[in-house]
């Protein structure tokens, strides 16, 4: 039983021991300055001990803006991040880290110079993540994240090179991917988290996402982590209990038909039998189990 879920998988040159992904869930366990703490390390160690395959550290801020989130904007943070990555790896999971822009929200007000700065901040943060010993970097372009808002016709009303039709709305994410790839090299695994559909009038649809992912893959993405929801449809981001289990699997299934890279699905997948069936049926290559792993770090080892 559950052989599909137990099977190893390769993401570029990185072998993951099973198909279970711990998605980036914010803990607020970092220090007031955004550095790694003992509490954060111990939290992640328990999930690695429990048997997770790929463990993506929470949404980590690429800038120095004052937030209560983990940060990666300075080289001084590398030693603490290295201790976190090595602590995860020690117990068999592969450590990844998600990068996010934590400044002012909204695609429209940003100047061209600010956008150029954000691109550089992402690439510098990705290089720090590699230097800190993480095995994978994930760019956050889903939900309410700034890059996700640039992708959305509901939130991006720009008329310059960064907005308009779906290709122009995808241009910032493409620029970030390309610049990150320049910094980290061609062999380092790079993931992109996207909302397959925003499920709101005027929002990005799965049909647009299907077109965008072809460009993202060509630009250098090695893994697509498919979620849902946007700045104005947060119920699809958090998926309360009224939603059925596996409510977003159909989005990953559609994306998987367009790309060659592995695809991760997410969304109320807290039943190992369901997770195994999703992999068996070829609807996704890996399964994110967020709140299930928050509640029971040792769930993977029980499968």
C-alpha triplet 154, 157, 160: angle, nearest 5°: 145
Which pLDDT does position 102 carry in this prediction? Answer: 77
- Asked if 294 and 61 count as a contact pair (C-beta separation under 8 A), the reply is no
- Decide which of 1 and 300 is more confident: 300
Return d(Cα 251, Cα 226) in angstroms, integer. 7
Q: 90 pLDDT exceeds 70? A: yes
Q: 202 pLDDT exceeds 90? A: yes
Residue range 170-180: mean pLDDT, rounded: 98
Which pLDDT does position 302 carry in this prediction? Answer: 79
- All domains of the chain, ordered by start, with CATH? 3-302 (3.20.20.70)
Residue with tokens 């980590």: 60
Q: Output the CA–CA distances (angstroms, integers) from residue 226 to 36, 255, 284, 288, in the order listed.
A: 27, 8, 10, 10
**Inter-helix orientation angle 206-219/171-184, to 10°:** 30
Which pLDDT does position 103 carry in this prediction? Answer: 64
Q: 277 pLDDT exceeds 90? A: yes
Residue range 209-225: mean pLDDT, rounded: 98
Residue with tokens 């990666």: 72
Q: 187 pLDDT exceeds 90? A: yes
Which residues, in sequence order, are CB contacts of 274 under 8 Å at separation 6+?
245, 246
* Calculated CA dihedral for residues 64, 66, 68, 70, nearest 10 degrees: 0
Q: What mean pLDDT, rounded, does the chain reach?
A: 96
Residue with tokens 């992912």: 213
Which pLDDT does position 106 carry in this prediction? Answer: 85
Q: Where are the beta strands (DSSP E) in the chain?
A: 9-11, 14-16, 20-22, 54-61, 94-100, 136-141, 190-195, 223-227, 263-265, 286-288
Which pLDDT does position 104 carry in this prediction? Answer: 62
Q: 211 pLDDT exceeds 70? A: yes
pLDDT digits (tens, 9 = 90+) for 127-169: 999 999 999 999 999 999 999 999 999 999 999 999 999 999 9
């Amino acid at each position: 039983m559950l052989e599909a879920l137990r099977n190893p998988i390769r993401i570029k040159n990185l072998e993951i021991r099973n198909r279970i992904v711990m998605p980036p869930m914010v803990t607020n366990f970092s220090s007031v300055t955004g550095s790694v703490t003992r509490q954060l390390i111990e939290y992640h160690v328990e999930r690695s001990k429990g048997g997770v395959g790929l463990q993506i550290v929470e949404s980590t801020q690429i800038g120095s803006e004052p937030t209560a989130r983990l940060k990666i904007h300075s080289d001084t943070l590398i030693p603490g991040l290295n201790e976190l990555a090595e602590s995860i790896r020690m117990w068999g999971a592969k450590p990844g880290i998600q990068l996010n822009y934590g400044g002012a929200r909204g695609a429209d007000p940003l100047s061209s110079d600010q956008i150029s700065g954000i691109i550089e901040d992402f690439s510098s943060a990705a290089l720090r993540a590699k230097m800190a010993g993480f095995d994978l970097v994930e760019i956050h372009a889903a939900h309410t994240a700034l890059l996700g808002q640039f992708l959305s016709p509901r939130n991006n009303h720009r008329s310059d090179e960064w907005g308009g039709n779906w290709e122009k709305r995808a241009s910032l994410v493409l620029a970030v991917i390309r610049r990150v790839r320049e910094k980290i090299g061609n062999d380092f695994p790079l993931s992109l988290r996207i909302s397959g559909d925003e499920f709101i009038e005027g929002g990005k649809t799965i049909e647009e996402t299907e077109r965008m992912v072809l460009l993202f893959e060509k630009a250098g993405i090695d893994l697509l982590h498919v979620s849902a929801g946007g700045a104005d449809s947060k119920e699809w981001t958090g998926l309360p209990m009224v939603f059925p289990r596996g409510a977003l699997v159909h989005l990953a299934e559609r994306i998987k038909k367009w790309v060659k890279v592995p695809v991760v699905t997410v969304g109320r997948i807290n039943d190992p039998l369901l997770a195994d069936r999703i992999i068996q049926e070829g609807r996704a290559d890996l399964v994110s189990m967020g709140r299930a792993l928050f509640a029971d770090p040792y769930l993977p080892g029980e499968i």
